[in-house]
């Protein structure tokens, strides 16, 4: 143990005396801070935008309540979109579905820049609407990618490790005094292991020191402490894998340059070539979906529904929504076109849900294909694990789409039940509508 401490001490001296390594460490630290700050900025932007939309919604709700009071008092006429009719009342109930950012977003932007995070939901909405497109951003900047902590950890930390380690054991070979060291009753592997352990601890501690303040600022430690500890575990494991790979390179290395060339080649293969190859193969196997099935539903199949006679539509609605059978309109034999027309979004929604299932299923097949390469492609595995922890991966947005769908379903059920029961919406009923969306 004493010997290990001595080796660590001399390694510290070696590090401090190497300007290239110390500058790299400082630059790396700056990159970690810059990456976390980028994540923190996006987290704040998303949170503030959501708060601003919620404030607008509250204003709109207050205006609607005032309008109901004025209609009830008879001081104003009913507008063109009569809010006493359930359809228009539900339509006028501001209901946004939000993808609330996790404070862990500070550590990984993941795929958050590829999706929208708020959506005004109506009974005609779908989970593939164009207003769910990502924030307006420069596509070239997005293609280059953002320097977030995840990127720093996954791609830059191995480079830092290369800078720190490329001449460990190599310098002695370059200067041809390596055999002198082994004369000191120390095996080559143990000597390298001790030196590697020093750098391993150094990088892990450095990362911990730099990310903990961000965890404190953004509220991670209060609301996502478990995820934070999982992140620390992933960091330790990920770095251990790189250190292990480089250890074997240095054990069999023939000098600093030889080791540097091998290390950077390993980095290139695991960080650029393998992920790129899997990306290309997955695109060959699963080409980009142009969503024609969904487009067909939103145009052709919806149109076909609109073309059907009211009697048929009434039958279809009763079949699709059995709950309607006990309503007032169901017991009425006459056909009320207004009621039917206001209920059509229910049938279209059924079609949309069916096609959404197919699309999500095909995306899931592609994801399974990507995941099947995890062993061969550990870098991307870790990248996606961190994205999952920070709630910024594909599945986080899939869950968000489920929330949107749930909200659409609630809207439609409210419209159908109250329209078919011929309810007249007043202030109290409107407040009930508002409350029903707050639960999501």
Q: How far is residue 370's CA from residue 381's CA, in Å, rounded to a whole number?
A: 9
Tokens coding 301: 């199949």
For another protein, the closer of residues 50 and 318 by Cβ is 50
Smallest separation (angstroms) from another protein to the CB of 321: 26
Give which of 19, 435, 15 is closest to 199, Cα–Cα.
15
Q: By three-state DSSP, how is residue 98 classified?
A: strand
Options 233, 295, 323, 440; binder of another protein; rule CB under 8 A: 295
Options 146, 197, 310, 436; binder of another protein; rule CB under 8 A: 146
For another protein, the closer of residues 132 and 351 by Cβ is 132
Options 15, 61, 65, 171; binder of another protein; rule CB under 8 A: 171
Options 1, 13, 144, 183; binder of another protein; rule CB under 8 A: 144
Q: How far is residue 215's CA from residue 393's CA, in Å, rounded to a whole number?
A: 19
DSSP letter for 132, please: G
For another protein, the closer of residues 3 and 365 by Cβ is 365
130 counts as binding another protein under rule CB under 8 A = yes
59 counts as binding another protein under rule CB under 8 A = no
The secondary structure element, H or E, covering residue 354 is helix 337-371
Residue numbers 390-429 binding another protein by CB under 8 A? 393-394, 397
Burial class (CB in 10 A: 0-12, 13-18, 19+), 206: middle
Number of Cα atoms under 13 Å in the Cβ half of residue 155: 17
Q: How far is residue 427's CA from residue 89's CA, in Å, rounded to a whole number?
A: 10
The region of 151-159, 190-198, 219-227, 417-425 touching another protein under the rule CB under 8 A is 151-159
The region of 9-17, 262-270, 323-331, 417-425 touching another protein under the rule CB under 8 A is 262-270
Residue numbers 331-360 binding another protein by CB under 8 A? none
For another protein, the closer of residues 150 and 413 by Cβ is 150
Residue numbers 76-105 binding another protein by CB under 8 A? 80
Residues 6+ apart with CB under 8 A from 132: 115, 116, 119, 404
Residues 384-413 as b or e (16 or more Cβ within 10 Å = b): bbbbbbbbbbbebbeebbebbbebbebbbb
279 counts as binding another protein under rule CB under 8 A = yes
275 counts as binding another protein under rule CB under 8 A = yes
| CA distances for 425 relative to 68, 82, 89, 415, 432, angstroms | 9, 10, 7, 11, 10
Instruction: Give one word for 133, left, alpha or beta, with left for phi > 0 and alpha for psi -120 to 50.
Output: beta
For another protein, the closer of residues 164 and 416 by Cβ is 164
Q: How far is residue 207's CA from residue 147's CA, in Å, rounded to a whole number?
A: 16
Beta strands 118-120 and 96-98 are antiparallel
115 counts as binding another protein under rule CB under 8 A = yes
Tokens coding 30: 């700056």
Options 209, 233, 273, 440; binder of another protein; rule CB under 8 A: 273
The region of 70-78, 242-250, 263-271, 318-326 touching another protein under the rule CB under 8 A is 263-271
278 counts as binding another protein under rule CB under 8 A = yes
Residues 6+ apart with CB under 8 A from 145: 151
Smallest separation (angstroms) from another protein to the CB of 155: 7
Options 1, 13, 143, 375; binder of another protein; rule CB under 8 A: 143
270 counts as binding another protein under rule CB under 8 A = no
Residue numbers 181-220 binding another protein by CB under 8 A? none
What one-character-per-residue DSSP string does 260-274 give? HHHHHHHHHIIIIIH
For another protein, the closer of residues 30 and 209 by Cβ is 30
- Cβ contact 383:150 at 8 Å: yes
Options 7, 25, 38, 169; binder of another protein; rule CB under 8 A: 38
277 counts as binding another protein under rule CB under 8 A = yes
Options 4, 47, 116, 236; binder of another protein; rule CB under 8 A: 116
Options 8, 15, 65, 159; binder of another protein; rule CB under 8 A: 159
Binding mask 232-261 for another protein (x = CB under 8 A): ------------------------xx--xx
């Amino acid at each position: 143990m004493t010997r290990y401490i001595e080796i660590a001490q001399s390694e510290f001296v070696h590090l401090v005396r190497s300007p290239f390594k110390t500058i790299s460490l400082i630059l790396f630290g700056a990159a970690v801070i810059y990456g976390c700050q980028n994540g923190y900025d996006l987290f704040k932007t998303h949170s503030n935008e959501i708060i601003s939309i919620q404030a607008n919604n509250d204003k709109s709700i207050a205006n609607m309540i005032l309008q109901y009071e004025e209609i009830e008092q008879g001081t104003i006429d009913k507008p063109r979109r009569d809010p006493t009719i359930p359809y228009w009342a539900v339509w006028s109930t501001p209901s946004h579905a939000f993808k609330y950012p996790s404070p862990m977003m500070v550590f990984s932007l993941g795929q958050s820049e590829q999706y929208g995070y708020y959506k005004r939901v109506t009974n005609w909405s779908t989970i593939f609407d164009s207003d769910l497109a990502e924030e307006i951003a420069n596509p070239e900047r997005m293609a280059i990618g953002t320097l977030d902590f995840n990127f720093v950890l996954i791609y830059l930390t191995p480079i830092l490790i290369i800078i720190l380690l490329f001449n460990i054991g190599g310098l002695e070979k370059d200067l041809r005094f390596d055999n002198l060291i082994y004369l000191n009753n120390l095996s080559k592997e143990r000597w390298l292991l001790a030196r590697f352990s020093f750098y391993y601890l150094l990088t892990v501690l450095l990362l911990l020191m730099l990310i903990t303040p961000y965890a404190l600022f953004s509220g991670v430690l209060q609301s996502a402490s478990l995820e934070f500890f999982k992140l620390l575990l992933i960091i330790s494991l990920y770095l251990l894998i790189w250190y292990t790979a480089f250890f074997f390179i240095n054990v069999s290395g023939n000098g600093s340059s030889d080791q540097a060339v091998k290390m950077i080649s390993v980095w290139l293969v695991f960080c650029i070539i393998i992920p790129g190859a899997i990306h290309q193969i997955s695109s060959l196997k699963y080409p980009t979906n142009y969503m024609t099935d969904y487009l067909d539903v939103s145009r052709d199949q919806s149109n076909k529904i609109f073309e059907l006679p009211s009697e048929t539509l009434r039958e279809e609605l009763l079949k699709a929504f059995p709950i309607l059978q006990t309503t007032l309109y169901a017991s009425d034999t006459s056909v009320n076109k207004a009621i039917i027309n206001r209920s059509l979004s229910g049938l279209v929604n059924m079609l949309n849900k069916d096609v959404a299932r197919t699309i999500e299923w095909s995306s899931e097949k592609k994801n399974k294909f990507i995941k099947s390469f995890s062993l061969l492609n550990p870098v991307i595995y870790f990248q996606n694990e961190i994205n999952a922890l920070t709630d910024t991966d594909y599945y986080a947005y899939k869950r968000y789409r489920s929330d949107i769908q749930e909200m659409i379903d609630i809207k439609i059920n409210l419209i159908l039940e109250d329209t078919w029961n011929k309810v007249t919406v007043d202030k109290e009923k409107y407040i009930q509508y508002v409350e029903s969306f707050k639960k999501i």
